[in-house]
Amino acid sequence: MDLSYLKAKFDRRVFLKALSATALVLFAPGRASGEADYRRDKNIPKNYIQNRDNPKFHIRSANPFLGVDISSWGLAVTGMVENPMGFGYEDLFGFKRVTQVSRLKCVECWSAKATWEGFRAEEILQRVRPRPEAKYVYFQSADSYYESYPIEELLRPRVLFVLRMNGEPLSPDHGFPLRLIAPFKYGYKNIKYITKMEFTDSRKRNYWSNNGPYSVDGTIQPGIDHPLDFGKKPLPINGGEVFHPFDKRPT
């Protein structure tokens, strides 16, 4: 029996609700520093990025966050590479630009598509030159979220480092200035606000495998999807990227 599928299907909202107050404290990020759990805090100012249900594209962020200040933002690429580098926002616009339409599917059972514009992983890899022993990339972001990928998966078709969404720069809600879109992975793998990529020889864990019943791998499993842009009509999915015939599949 495929247990990873059951795990991934588990509804996170139900999961969080089902936890007792005591258990919730154990899961609350920042508990070590005595911070309150924001999921029960009704007083978070509106300008903080936090979960919101939009008709077009839900916003999902594990922790409230004010967004990135671009004047102090940079992308650091470090670890097992020949040439560690730092990139500013402008540098990223010098990379070969690609546009694609793809769908983001969250484990909470919604999906939505957008036109995403950015660059492929090769642009970074060819500049930093990973050493032969490097097998994984550990991503860190400005809101203390983190993810990990095998390098091989970042080089698959349609994995995109995104700068623009639907013809505009990424909004703070959706990960400005830089996020990842990997259409064959669940939403939680699509890390927003990227600040650092570290090349490693062993796999590190990701935020949602440490804070919920989710796999590090996060590949979309066959099942039923509830796309936002189809009036929430459930549609079967085949596994892999959630794809519909009239989603334009660019080259």
Contacting positions for ligand MTE (CB under 6 A) = 57-62, 104, 106, 141, 143, 145, 174-175, 187-188, 190-193
Torsion of CA 41, 56, 153, 191, to 10 degrees: -30
Contact 10, 209 (CB under 8 A): no
Of the residues 38, 57, 60, 138, which one makes contact with Mo ion according to CB under 5 A: 60
Structure-token pair, residue 247: 């989603």
Of 25-33, 58-66, 111-119, 234-242, the window that binds Mo ion (rule: CB under 5 A) is: 58-66
Give the DSSP letter of residue 49.
B
Token pair for residue 201?
């020889």
Number of residues engaging Mo ion in binding (CB under 5 A):
4
State the minimum distance, in angstroms, from the CB of residue 235 to ligand MTE. Answer: 18
Q: CB 29 → ligand MTE: shortest distance, Å?
A: 10
CB of 42 to ligand MTE, least distance (A): 19
Using CB positions, name the residue nearest to ligand MTE: 187
Task: Give the nearer residue to Mo ion in terms of CB position, either 60 or 179.
Answer: 60
Q: Which does 184 bind (CB under 5 to 8 A by kind): Mo ion, ligand MTE, none?
A: none
Q: Which residue is nearest to Mo ion (CB)?
A: 106
Amino acid, single-letter form, for residue 79: G
> Of the two residues 145 and 199, which places its CB atom closer to Mo ion in the complex?
145
Q: How far is the CB of 234 from ligand MTE (least distance, A)?
A: 18
176 vs 48, 49, 67, CA distance in Å? Answer: 14, 11, 8
Q: From its phi and psi, is residue 95 left (phi > 0), alpha (psi between -120 and 50) or beta?
A: beta
User: Which parts of 104-123 interact with Mo ion (CB under 5 A)?
Assistant: 106
Q: Which is nearer to ligand MTE, 128 or 143 (CB)?
A: 143
Nearest to 242 by CA among 36, 65, 50, 102: 102
Residue 185 in contact with Mo ion, rule: CB under 5 A: no
- CB-nearer residue toward Mo ion: 177 or 187: 187
φ, ψ dihedrals at 6, nearest 5°: -60, -45
Cβ nearer to ligand MTE, comparing 57 with 199: 57
The nearest distance, CB 142 to Mo ion, in angstroms, is 18
- Dihedral-angle region of residue 130 (phi above 0 means left; psi in -120 to 50 means alpha; beta otherwise): beta
- Exposure of 184 by Cβ count < 10 A (0-12 exposed, 13-18 middle, 19+ buried)? buried
Which residue ranges make up the site for Mo ion (CB under 5 A)?
Answer: 60, 106, 187-188
